[in-house]
Structure 1
């Protein structure tokens, strides 16, 4: 029997009941089960009640600054006041999050084939305007590459991540100021290629540091303080 379709994988990740034959295949197929588990992570993140309201601005964890200072040789910590995660827009209700999650899952899985077919010869969608090599942080086994692409004025961040599977967490990408005073969450990524839309008006010159963190399933939208790879965008 062929593997589950992208639509079936997305529905299973959202907890929808599949036809008996499709459910039977999913139960006995390790590959499809792994795909559903991977897709379910962002749904779990978006569905938690803690994300249903507008999050207050909070300071990045001290570990983030410590890691940057160790890597760059900077010895002066950023001021404690004003260090925060930048909320780009109010968070919608939980119901809307679940609707968005469904659209992202179906659009992301189904649209992945379309993106692959419409990519340029250099392997991506749109022109590369900035890129960064993601180097592993000490004692971490993750690396990759990030590219900012511009397709007719619409910017996206394409992350190619080589990292271990996470049994009880997920990877998230952030854009940081060089001094780590402020940071912007970009989105959840998985091993391999992930394309994330960039917010309109975000100044990449002010937020050039690409940070990949490991986030637990705890409903807390702030940075966990556990970063595994990092690099600076260069134009």
Structure 2
């Protein structure tokens, strides 16, 4: 099976349309989709929110095509709406949980385990079950307590929507980062398997939970500091954490 080229994976990470064959392959290949998700972490981390959302295409002025024709001797013209460059990208399938193993890159596992215990003790009284969520269903909420000497803290709430889908609403209070970014995770109690939910910034954000994710197996809500290195695994540097009541 021929996988997407690195160039096509990079375009997909930038949410650019792909040719029909590559788009069809990406829709059915978990390995390529995992590569795209890994690349998107760095893209999302450095994206300016105002420009991150896709906007309407802006056609180049006629002088661009005239210059191309003058330089190459080939008549160039933009494609019309009846003949777009790329086919419509198929709608993404329902998100499935991507469980990553813990591989610390900057701290020994012993330190992270110690931080986990400390976070559990500090936050033991901060867990609550909140009634009457957005659609009237009970939701679970937890305080995200700072670990060690970090200044990050916040709150995470699981909300069940009317259509049955689940999201986690996160309120993060943390100092800004220069060459790193915050990421939110759901982690098992053994700190072995973890599910990345996405890049989180100070303030309030909502993240969709995978449909097949069992919160009883991954009850720890964790905020980490990640370097811009493209590595999808947890850095081993957690700044805030809380345990959901499931």
Count of aligned positions: 144
Query: 2:150 matched to 1:140?
Result: yes
5+ residue gaps, structure 2: 1-47, 59-97, 119-131
Following superposition, the deviation at residue 206 of structure 1 comes to 0.6
Q: Is the 8 A contact 1:128 1:147 kept in 2?
A: no
Query: 2:136 matched to 1:130?
Result: no
Query: 2:233 matched to 1:190?
Result: no
- In the alignment, the residues of structure 1 paired with residue 239 and residue 198 of structure 2 have an alpha-carbon distance, to the nearest angstrom, of 15
Query: 2:95 matched to 1:60?
Result: no
- In the alignment, the residues of structure 2 paired with residue 193 and residue 205 of structure 1 have an alpha-carbon distance, to the nearest angstrom, of 24
Equivalent residue in structure 1 for 2:210, among 185, 199, 209: 199
Task: Determine which structure has the larger helix proportion and give its number.
Answer: 1
- Describe the SS at the equivalent of 1:221: coil
Query: 2:113 matched to 1:72?
Result: no
Aligned to 1:175: 186
- In the alignment, the residues of structure 2 paired with residue 12 and residue 186 of structure 1 have an alpha-carbon distance, to the nearest angstrom, of 19
5+ residue gaps, structure 1: 1-6, 18-54, 74-121
Following superposition, the deviation at residue 58 of structure 1 comes to 4.1
Q: Is the 8 A contact 1:142 1:228 kept in 2?
A: yes
- Describe the SS at the equivalent of 2:190: coil
Q: Is the 8 A contact 1:60 1:183 kept in 2?
A: no
Q: Is the 8 A contact 2:185 2:221 kept in 1?
A: yes
Aligned to 1:162: 173
- In the alignment, the residues of structure 1 paired with residue 52 and residue 214 of structure 2 have an alpha-carbon distance, to the nearest angstrom, of 36
Q: TM-score, normalised by structure 2?
A: 0.51
**Cα deviation code 1:36-65 (max 9, x no counterpart):** xxxxxxxxxxxxxxxxxxx99543326455
Say which one has the larger Rg: 2
